[in-house]
Amino acid sequence: MKKLSLLFAASLLASPLALAEVVVIGNPSGPDSISANEVRDLYLNRSKALPNGQSAKPFELPEGNATRAEFHDKVTGRNDAQLKAFWSQQVFTGRGQPPAEAGSASGMKAQVASTPGAIGYIDSADVDDSVKVILTP
């Protein structure tokens, strides 16, 4: 019985982490909000500008990252293999390059915070005042 109550207590402590979700972050000087369609268009090379007209600089987490998978599932509807194929075609035809990669959530925050027009995505639990949340997909 004691083991069961410890397990239950541990699950309660872990539950806030399970409730965290992906959020789209922007540079503090950028727009205060953006639509999911606008974010999708930026990440699929259909647009190059933020809603305020500023040139956009999207950043991406590495393949295999769980936050990346959740972001693309909710926003672009594509998995890593589909994204790899899409960007291979874009590069081959000269239409564009994939977003620059940030190696981690802290790297993503640093890149977005220091780059005007930057957007990225991280787990909501990783947000701090260096960036602003512009969309919760």
Q: Can you tell me the mean pLDDT for 23-36?
A: 96
Tokens of 131: 């960036």
Residue 20 is predicted with a pLDDT of 73
Residue 46 contacts residue 96 (beta carbons within 8 Å): no
Residue 2 is predicted with a pLDDT of 52
Of 15-19, 56-60, 105-109, the one with minimum mean pLDDT is 15-19
Q: What is the mean pLDDT of the chain?
A: 89
**Any idea of the CA torsion for 111, 113, 118, 122, to the nearest 10 degrees?**
70
90 sits in which H/E element? helix 80-92
- Phi/psi for 135 (5° steps) reads -160, 140
pTM: 0.84
Q: Can you tell me the mean pLDDT for 15-41?
A: 86
Distance CA 5, CA 86 (A): 49
Q: Please determine, for residue 8, whether its predicted confidence score (pLDDT) is greater than 70.
A: no
Write out pLDDT tens, residues 110-126: 999 999 999 999 999 99
Where would I find the beta strands (DSSP E) of the chain? 22-26, 57-60, 100-101, 118-123, 132-135
Domains of the chain: 20-135 (3.40.190.10)
Q: Among 38, 105, 35, which Cα is nearest to 67's?
A: 105
Write out pLDDT tens, residues 61-82: 999 999 999 999 999 999 999 9
Amino acid at 121: Y
Residue 18 is predicted with a pLDDT of 52
